Amino acid sequence: MSVGDAEVAVYYPALDCGSSGYYVGLGITYTLLVFWVLGVPVAMLVLLLHLRKQQRLQEVPVMQRWGFLYGTYRPRYFWFEVLLLSRRIVLGQISAWLLDRADLRSALLAVSTTAFLLLHMAVRPYVQSHANFLETVSLVTLTILCNLTSGHSLVRDGAYSVSVQVIACVLVLLVAGALLLAALRSKLSAIRRCVQWASTWFGSGEVEARASESEPKAEELITLHSTNPPVADDDSMTAAAGWRQPLLSGPSHDDDD
């Protein structure tokens, strides 16, 4: 930003952008940005391509170590995390470098967000369908926000209008609430599965414990039955003798008379 004959930083006017110290710091900053901002995505892509070439992406040790880079995507889109990181870099650099050129910044942001939205809707890279839906909602919201702030420069025009701020806040809150509900739902589902597993495991253990406790009782009953056989009473013995008497005495001669 120009102040008289000097160029100063927008957010730190005490910094003279024409001084030698500024240029030294600027060179160091750009060097670190190049190595970090560009080096990390390139290193990630090289690693994923190397693992894919060796067909090790589905190995358990590799997934435990590097699965966070590709585990949420469909196998053919194992590289998509690199694209998402590049998307953040592109949008961030457009917003930062073109801060004082509102029209060009707005146009590039609108084109970039629309392109990323169409790409996402075409490939739908996530394994879970609700993740694809939430990502679509997020990109649509980002595209709307870019169009709402189109042509506005914070340096030249100051703060956004109240209506734009209200609409932006409502959109951000709605999307954030939807993402939070989705995260809570997945967590609750995982907790519910853990509770069901625990109840099943402890329930089977209780049944086994009861069965093991009942086995000695059954053995005791068998032993008691063998050592103390049941004794019939007099009435039952008399009835049994009455039934056996005709068989022992043979046929009766009363019928001959």
**Secondary structure letter of residue 159 according to DSSP:** S
| CB of 23 closer than 8 Å to CB of 33 | no
Nearest to 43 by CA among 91, 15, 81: 81
Give pTM, 2 decimals. 0.61
Q: What is the bridge-based pairing of β-strands 2-3 and 6-7?
A: antiparallel
Looking at residue 7, its pLDDT comes to 64
Nearest to 87 by CA among 112, 108, 69, 120: 112
d(CA 22, CA 28): 10
d(CA 124, CA 136): 9
| CB of 132 closer than 8 Å to CB of 124 | yes
Nearest to 86 by CA among 129, 51, 38: 38
- pLDDT tens digits, 22-76: 777 778 887 888 888 888 889 999 999 999 999 899 889 999 899 999 999 999 9
Burial of 168 (C-beta count, 10 Å sphere; 0-12/13-18/19+): middle
Tell whether the model's pLDDT for residue 99 goes beyond 80: no
Looking at residue 8, its pLDDT comes to 59
> Over the Cα atoms of the chain, what is R_g?
41
User: In the numeric block, which tokens belong to residue 223?
Assistant: 């032993």
Looking at residue 248, its pLDDT comes to 43
Instruction: Mention every residue, 6+ apart, whose C-beta is less than 8 A from residue 216.
Output: none
User: In the numeric block, which tokens belong to residue 21?
Assistant: 């110290």
User: In the numeric block, which tokens belong to residue 147?
Assistant: 């169009």
For residue 76, the one-letter residue type is: R
The HSE-up count of residue 50 (CA atoms within 13 Å, CB side) is: 8
The mean pLDDT value of the chain amounts to 75
Nearest to 70 by CA among 95, 45, 93: 45
Query: Does residue 190 or residue 203 have the better pLDDT?
Result: 190
Q: What percent of the chain has pLDDT over 90?
A: 18
Tell whether the model's pLDDT for residue 255 goes beyond 50: no
Q: How many angstroms separate the Cα of 138 from the Cα of each of 34, 85, 165, 178?
A: 28, 15, 18, 10
Instruction: Using pLDDT thresholds of 50, 70 and 90, give the confidence band for residue 252.
Output: very low
